[in-house]
Amino acid sequence: MSFTETQADVLVIGSGAAGLTAALSLAETRRVVVLAKGKLTSGSTAWAQGGIAAVLDAGDTFEDHIRDTMVAGAGLNDRDVVEFVIENAPASIERLIELGVPFNRESGDLHLTREGGHSHRRIVHVNDATGWAVQAALLKAAEENPNITLLPDRTCIDLITGRHEETYSGSGRVWGAYALDATTGKVEAHTARATVMAAGGAGRCYLFSTAPRGATGDGIAMSWRAGARVSNMEMMQFHPTCLYNLEVKNFLITEAVRGEGGRLYNPRTGKRFMTYYDEERMELAPRDVVARAIDAEIKRFGLDYVHLDISHEPPEFVKEHFPTIHEKLLGLGIDMTKEPIPVVPAQHYTCGGIVVDKRGRTDLPGLYAAGECTESGLHGANRLASNSLLECFVYGEAAARDILDHWDGFEAPPQVRQWDDTRVTDSDEEVVIKQNWTEIRRFMWNYVGIVRTTKRLERAANRIDLLHREIEDYYGQFKVTTDLIELRNLLQCADLIVRSALKRHESRGLHFTLDYPETDEVAKDTVLVP
Ligand code: FAD
Ligand code: SIN
């Protein structure tokens, strides 16, 4: 095994908004290696549609954005963190403009769209494909930076900690990560003085998800195995409007469609059903409310989907605001300027994750984390739309600043043990992986979805126990592949979600259980300790 390309000052795991923001700041003075699973554009960042929330309009205030965030988060948010992120939003947008992100403008000013739960228009965007533009600008800047080495096709397996040191120092530090080079099949040790975990969410624990294929919670699982606490994993966000289509399974219809006037109808009764669920806010109620309303209509009337309709708006307006979605739907035979779009809720965002403080520090010395893999206190029990990319920018920057400010305290990594695969063989039963993937995602959807009960959660916990033995056995016998690494992490995250859900004896935000329908007076985080 070679250590050549793998020694860095700082190792960043993930090339999405959080990872690249951290890398660009760190690269002012440090040499950074960024690892990504598959392509450098494989994370959720490139898929983001709606935009980024920031107070930029004269009629809007930080206080309003803070209030909207905390109302959506059902009071579980950390007010101090909410203030920190929201007050840093305008500066984050400024940096993105400097990097060349071509945000939409109207008469020279940034155009602001509206999304559910926001009391003002405050979402900056690049048409309906904001994430792609952000990812492209960050990647271009990183590629041009001589201090940054970008390594795609590297699947991190586990963090390197004290137990991997050749001579145990007892420092308890994280020294980087072991990663499978998917192009050679070899496992490399990527050592560094500091590591930033930015590996995204765990959406693929669910059968239906808007998230990309690689959202298997690897960062959360690796950090947990290394000894970091995780929090609020039961707070899994379901987006109300994912396209219902038998061919295309996970195409999001942005919340901005409702923000710009889209209405939800029951296709059987023709009724605009949000009037029964949230008469005041209607389609612009927070996501948990709208997703539960759609779920209830679907179950009550035995529907496959509900209708999202914006065809009452002028066709030119619809095409101008939603060019990507319009074109995609036309390709599937749906003209959104003339007819409604069939939609269903789908898993969308992981609100819980690795516990971090305001400087992006985890429990483990040398390990920082930022973005969707974390629980910072910003989102609480439900994320407000378009606050997620914002969190990536603010925390990516905060983690980088803290590392740079304390650089003298970061020691050089010691000699670490090589990955030992002398006692494992090539897998002879790939079908086991496929079968277990499907099984996890199906029972998580059916038993740990939008509406929960203790009985369903216990059923899921039993399945997890059985699979745990089978998968660990398989992991111990065969050479690692990306699929096997992901399966192991998926199960680990499913376990954390179910255990957290069983611990919360109330309904709050995204966690709704028929056994405890009331909300406790005091909001408490669900913290799991390894
Ligand atoms: P990601 O962008 O997901 O990046 C994760 C990175 O980690 C990737 O590079 C991946 O390759 C890497 N990685 C993962 N596992 C490993 C491993 N084992 N080894 C090495 N590398 C690994 N939020 C908003 O604020 N506004 C929006 O409009 C919006 N729209 C969205 C639309 C969709 C369809 C989806 C799915 C999400 C949307 N979100 C939106 C949420 C937002 O996009 C994500 O929360 C955010 O992009 C997460 O960024 P990240 O940097 O934390 O992770
Ligand atoms: C969307 O465009 O509806 C997604 C926005 C988000 O997830 O914040």
Question: Best of 389, 393, 481, 484 to mutate for ligand 1, by most ligand atoms within 8 A of CB?
Answer: 389
In the chain, residues under CATH classification 3.50.50.60 are 4-235+351-407
At 138 the pLDDT is: 98
Q: Name the amino acid, one letter, at 297.
A: E
| 15 Cα to the center of ligand 1, angstroms | 9
Atom of ligand 1 nearest to the CA of 177: 19
At 239 the pLDDT is: 94
Dist CA 160 CA 6 (whole Å): 13
Atom of ligand 1 nearest to the CA of 252: 34
Structure tokens at 85: 């992120």
Q: Whose CA is nearest to atom 1 of ligand 2?
A: 254
Give CA torsion, residues 372, 454, 222, 75, to 10 deg. 30
Ligand 1 pocket (Cβ < 6 Å) reads: 13-19, 35-38, 42-45, 47-52, 130-131, 154-156, 198-200, 210-211, 214, 218, 252, 349, 371-372, 386-389, 392
In the chain, the N- to C-terminal Cα span, in Å, equals 31
At 1 the pLDDT is: 37
Domain 237-347 = CATH 3.90.700.10: yes
In the chain, residues under CATH classification 1.20.58.100 are 431-525
Question: Annotated catalytic, 441?
Answer: no
Q: Considering every ligand atom, which ligand is closest to the CA of 211? A: 1
Choosing from 287, 292, 452, 488, which is the catalytic residue?
A: 287
Domain 431-525 = CATH 2.60.320.10: no
| 36 Cα to the center of ligand 1, angstroms | 11
* Residue 53: strand pairing partners: 123
Question: Best of 128, 386, 389, 392 to mutate for ligand 2, by most ligand atoms within 8 A of CB?
Answer: 386
Pairing of strands 32-35, 8-13: parallel
- Residue 62 makes CB contacts below 8 A (sequence gap 6+) with 55, 83, 86, 87
At 2 the pLDDT is: 38
Which residues of the chain fall short of a pLDDT of 50?
Answer: 1-5
At 170 the pLDDT is: 81
| 161 Cα to the center of ligand 2, angstroms | 36
At 247 the pLDDT is: 86
Check pocket membership of 385 for ligand 2, CB cut-off 6 A: yes
At 6 the pLDDT is: 64
Q: What is the CATH code of the structural domain delimited by 4-235+351-407? A: 3.50.50.60
In order, the DSSP letters of 118-144 are -SS--EE-STT-HHHHHHHHHHHHHHH
pTM: 0.96
In order of 283, 284, 427, the CA distances from 307 in angstroms are 12, 15, 45
| 44 Cα to the center of ligand 1, angstroms | 3
| 131 Cα to the center of ligand 1, angstroms | 9
In the chain, residues under CATH classification 3.90.700.10 are 237-347
Using the 8-state DSSP alphabet, how is residue 111 labeled?
P
* Residue 347: strand pairing partners: 209, 238
Residues 350-389: b if buried by 16+ CB within 10 A, e if exposed: bbbbbbbebebbbbbbbbbbbbbbbbbbbbbbbbbbbbbb
Check pocket membership of 209 for ligand 2, CB cut-off 6 A: no
Check pocket membership of 49 for ligand 2, CB cut-off 6 A: yes
